[in-house]
């Protein structure tokens, strides 16, 4: 089937193609979570950008790269909204089992949205103006992209990924070179075994051990131990939060040697 002839039959108005562009613009905007504020404006802006990108090969390639990113994020975006640094951190630091569990929780029809965007990408490329050096369309595309939500989304992904990778490399270097300078006072340990449970990725107000009416933590409800109440996470994601919690004086001297595990080991505990 000739897709170009289907959507652009001769010199007839390309109403079908424009309508398809608009529908996909709405779907993509919703799937990426950019409908909380100015939803109509965001949809129309993406629609305009796609029309302009369609007139120039360079902008068509740019649009396809953006749409591919949207197709990848759409299943999660429809559930959790627009992408942010916390999502990027979780993605880069997850395991295969966690990723499989996360994917299994996403409704199947969310993946159909990704498939629809991919199909549109094929149609978009097959019908774009090949060989047309439409510099006016290129200029308008650049001007309309300034401070647009697609540009902010791509910029956020790039900056968030770069910052996260840099931070992960920093932790790796600290683990390799860090050395503790704990000074252990003489004495006899009060306990033979110490277990530290750090609640992560869960809200305290949904745990019955902290007063939630439904028995969501039956073992903790009766387990002996010291429960810290009122502590606020030191950061928005796991690694920086635990680093600031378990490493002494992290902000001034982020030496991973001076951490709780090293302290316990130096005190004679097997960790």
Same domain, 227 and 155: no
Same domain, 190 and 156: no
Structural domain harbouring 126: 3-165
The mean pLDDT value for 165-187 works out to: 74
The mean pLDDT value for 69-89 works out to: 86
Q: What does the mean pLDDT of the chain come to?
A: 81
- For residue 201, what are the CA distances in angstroms to 36, 73, 198, 206, 237? 24, 21, 10, 12, 9
Domain end point (choices 165, 195, 221): 165
Share of the chain above pLDDT 70, in %: 87
Judge whether 94 lies within some domain: yes
Specify the pTM: 0.65
**pLDDT score recorded for residue 178:** 63
Share of the chain above pLDDT 90, in %: 16
The mean pLDDT value for 92-100 works out to: 79
Same domain, 28 and 104: yes
The mean pLDDT value for 153-159 works out to: 89
Same domain, 69 and 110: yes
Phi and psi at residue 133, to the nearest 5°: -90, 75
Judge whether 170 lies within some domain: no
């Amino acid at each position: 089937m000739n897709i170009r002839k289907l959507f652009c039959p001769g010199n007839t108005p390309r109403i079908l193609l424009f309508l398809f562009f608009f529908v996909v613009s709405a779907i993509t905007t919703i799937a990426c979570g950019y409908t909380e504020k100015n939803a109509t404006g965001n949809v129309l802006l993406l629609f305009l950008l796609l029309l302009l990108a369609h007139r120039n090969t360079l902008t068509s390639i740019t649009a396809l790269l953006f749409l591919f990113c949207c197709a990848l994020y759409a299943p999660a975006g429809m559930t959790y909204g627009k992408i942010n640094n916390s999502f990027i951190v979780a993605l880069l630091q997850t395991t295969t089992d966690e990723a499989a569990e996360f994917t299994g929780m996403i409704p199947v029809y969310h993946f159909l949205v990704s498939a629809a965007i991919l199909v549109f990408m094929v149609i978009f490329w097959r019908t774009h103006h090949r060989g047309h050096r439409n510099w006016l369309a290129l200029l308008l595309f650049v001007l309309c992209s300034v401070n647009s939500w697609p540009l902010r989304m791509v910029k956020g992904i790039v900056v968030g990924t770069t910052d996260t990778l840099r931070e992960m490399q920093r932790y790796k270097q600290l683990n390799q070179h860090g050395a503790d300078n704990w000074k252990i006072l003489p004495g006899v340990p009060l306990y033979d075994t110490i277990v530290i449970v750090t609640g992560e990725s869960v809200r305290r107000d949904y745990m019955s051990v902290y007063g939630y009416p439904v028995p969501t933590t039956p073992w903790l409800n009766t387990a002996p131990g010291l429960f810290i109440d009122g502590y606020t996470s030191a950061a928005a994601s796991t690694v920086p939060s635990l680093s600031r919690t378990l490493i002494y004086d992290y902000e001034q001297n982020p030496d991973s040697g001076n951490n709780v595990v090293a302290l316990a080991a130096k005190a004679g505990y097997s960790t």
